[in-house]
Amino acid sequence: METNTNTIYDHVRTDFETSPFFNLLGFELRSITEDEVILELPIERKLLNTHGSLHGGVYATMIDNIISLKMRSMIGSPVITINLTINYIAPITSGKIIAKAFVYGEGKRTKMGEGIVMDENGKLLAKGSGTFKVIKSKEQ
């Protein structure tokens, strides 16, 4: 595993920014540092449900991605989702949403985290928690 933190951040950023699904939805990785990873998503018509508000699957995808980003920035290894639970708190119809994550647990192969999604004013829209499996590369 690489020990240079900036190199880890560069790899994580490249992996996510070149992901076809990540790009399809329009995610923007605003910050990736030791202390914080911030993901944003401008709300477009294609992301709305039949009621005209942001589709719940978008919240779930964003929370899954922000927790994964935070874990990868901390450990430098890919992770896959084992379990994800989402709590929907408030709808949004326009503007952009912002996500942040928190990671906890000392397991070597299994990590846990929480993600939150807010509007531009910091109003909580959704939160979720997940369990993730660390995927070790052949070099590790």
The predicted model scores a pTM of 0.89
Which helix (DSSP H) or strand (DSSP E) does residue 47 occupy?
none
Position 1 pLDDT exceeds 70: no
Position 138 pLDDT exceeds 70: no
Max intra-chain CA distance, the chain: 49
Q: For residue range 54-112, what is the model confidence (pLDDT) as tens digits? A: 999 999 999 999 999 999 988 888 999 999 999 999 999 999 999 999 998 778 899 99
Position 139 pLDDT exceeds 60: no
pLDDT confidence tier of residue 5, bands split at 50, 70 and 90? low
Name the residue with higher pLDDT: 139 or 64. Answer: 64
Q: Which of 137, 53, 61, 55 shows the shortest CA–CA distance to 92? A: 53
Supply the pLDDT for residue 2.
43
pLDDT confidence tier of residue 33, bands split at 50, 70 and 90? confident
Answer yes or no: are the C-beta atoms of 93 and 52 closer than 8 Å: yes
Sheet holding 37-42, edge to edge: 28-32, 37-42, 96-104, 110-119, 124-134, 79-88
